[in-house]
């Protein structure tokens, strides 16, 4: 008895049959249970890599317009050179800046432990600029009483020293290696996704049509637009805020202006997150005695964040999703709380899909749920 040959792999839709497979009701139920078991088993198997796969899908969706333009120029390179170039650009623009910010934080973890140990032994000395502040003569004795002796911060310092011990260093190193592995896997997945992007797109279109009809493809297109609009609104606006504030930091004399600018760009991808970096830059200026310049930087940063979050970002995101800004904001914040950092993109996409279904359900937008327009009743309508 010879085994049947393995059928070939062809383009999606090649072997679809218009007739339903001949299966009894118990067979359908058993097949559905088997499929659910396989899906759950697959998710459990890939659970550690799901964030990397999710980010690869997000970057592939966001880079699809660039891929199409490059593929139109070099059609013979759409499966090798173009995906490699886009992966390299992703590495340079998105991944390396995160490593630049994370590296000094990891390197300074040991220094933080030594600093906390010094505070535990000698207390926190009075900063030189405190006496020059208004009411400085009254603030200095309070600082010395509350923070200047060893017992004042012993509990906090002990916790910091304990956290920065050998166990903390090993955990931090292990987490850093794990994140690097996930980033590498994300870049590899992005390459293969871009290489087969047209095939993957056709596969998903056929699958959604078979499962949900025309409505599935319609909602899927809206979700893709939401992802592209959210990435544009978050990433590019965040980079713009980082560049503007980085120049301002350099002119103001902020220590390490490039690092602060990069931190501002990264935090600006989260609504109101840039305010944290701007406040840190202001505190750095305040610590070296440049209080007036610190106030100017904080005020300028407030204006930049206000304009970016209330004018530029809503136009980019709403233009793609047609969502009111309040739903964009709720989708971003709720997505981060529910899904972590990847929720920055997933949250608005989910909101876009829900709002689209609601608008079609109530008849305010035409689509597969209400494909026919019903004319309003007039005075002569029977």
Q: What integer pLDDT is reported at residue 166 of this predicted model?
A: 46
Instruction: Look at residue 160 and tell me whether its pLDDT is greater than 60.
Output: no
Phi, psi of 238 (to 5 degrees): -60, -45
pLDDT bucket at 165, cuts 50 / 70 / 90: very low
pTM of full prediction above 0.85: no
Query: Residue 222: which residues within 8 A CB-CB, separation 6 or more?
Result: 321, 352, 353, 356
Which of 32-46, 128-142, 158-172, 247-261 has the highest average model confidence (pLDDT)?
32-46
Q: Would you state the pLDDT for residue 19?
A: 64
**Residues in contact with 50: Cβ distance below 8 Å, sequence separation at least 6, in sequence order:** 43
- Residue 136 neighbours by CB under 8 Å, 6+ apart: 130
Residue 292's CB is within 10 A of a number of other CB atoms, namely 10
Q: What is the pLDDT of residues 68-114, one digit of tens each?
A: 999 999 888 888 899 999 999 888 877 777 666 666 655 555 555 55
At 44 the pLDDT is 92
221-255 per-position pLDDT tens digit = 888 888 888 887 787 888 888 888 888 988 888 88
What is the reported pLDDT for 48? Answer: 85
DSSP three-state, residue 218: helix
**pLDDT score recorded for residue 57:** 92
Q: What is the pLDDT of residue 313?
A: 77
pLDDT digit string, tens, across residues 266-297: 888 777 788 888 988 888 888 777 888 888 99
Question: pLDDT at position 133, please?
Answer: 60
């Amino acid at each position: 008895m010879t085994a049947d040959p393995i059928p070939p792999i062809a383009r999606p839709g090649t072997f679809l049959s218009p007739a339903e497979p001949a299966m009894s009701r118990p067979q359908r139920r058993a097949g559905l249970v088997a499929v659910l078991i396989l899906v759950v088993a697959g998710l459990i198997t890939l659970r550690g890599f799901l964030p990397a796969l999710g980010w690869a899908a997000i970057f592939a969706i966001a880079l699809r317009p660039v891929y199409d333009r490059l593929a139109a120029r070099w059609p013979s390179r759409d499966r090798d050179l173009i995906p490699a170039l886009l992966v390299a650009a992703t590495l340079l623009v998105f991944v390396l800046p995160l490593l630049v910010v994370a590296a000094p934080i990891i390197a300074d973890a040991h220094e933080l432990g030594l600093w906390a140990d010094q505070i535990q032994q000698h207390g926190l000395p009075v900063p030189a600029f405190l006496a020059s502040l208004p009411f400085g003569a009254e603030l200095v004795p309070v600082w010395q009483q509350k923070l200047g002796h060893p017992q004042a911060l012993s509990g906090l310092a002990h916790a910091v020293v304990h956290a920065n011990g050998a166990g903390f260093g090993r955990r931090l190193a292990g987490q850093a290696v794990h994140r690097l592995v996930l980033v590498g896997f994300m870049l590899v997945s992005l390459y293969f996704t871009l290489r087969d992007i047209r095939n993957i797109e056709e596969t998903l279109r056929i699958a959604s049509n078979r499962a949900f009809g025309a409505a599935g493809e319609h909602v899927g297109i809206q979700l893709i637009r939401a992802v592209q609009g959210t990435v544009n609104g978050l990433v590019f606006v965040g980079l713009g805020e980082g560049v503007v504030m980085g120049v301002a930091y350099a002119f103001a004399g902020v220590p390490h202006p490039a690092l602060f600018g990069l931190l501002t760009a990264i935090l600006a991808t989260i609504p109101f997150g840039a305010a944290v970096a701007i406040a840190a830059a202001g505190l750095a200026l305040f610590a070296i005695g440049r209080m007036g310049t610190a106030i100017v930087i904080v005020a300028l940063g407030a204006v930049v964040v206000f304009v970016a979050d209330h004018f530029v970002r809503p136009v980019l995101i709403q233009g793609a999703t047609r969502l009111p800004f309040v739903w964009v904001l709720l989708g971003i914040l709720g997505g981060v709380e529910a899904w972590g950092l990847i929720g920055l993109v997933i949250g608005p996409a989910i909101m876009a899909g829900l709002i689209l279904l609601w608008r079609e359900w109530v008849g305010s937008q035409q689509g597969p749920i209400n494909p026919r327009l019903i004319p309003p009743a007039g005075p002569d309508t029977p």
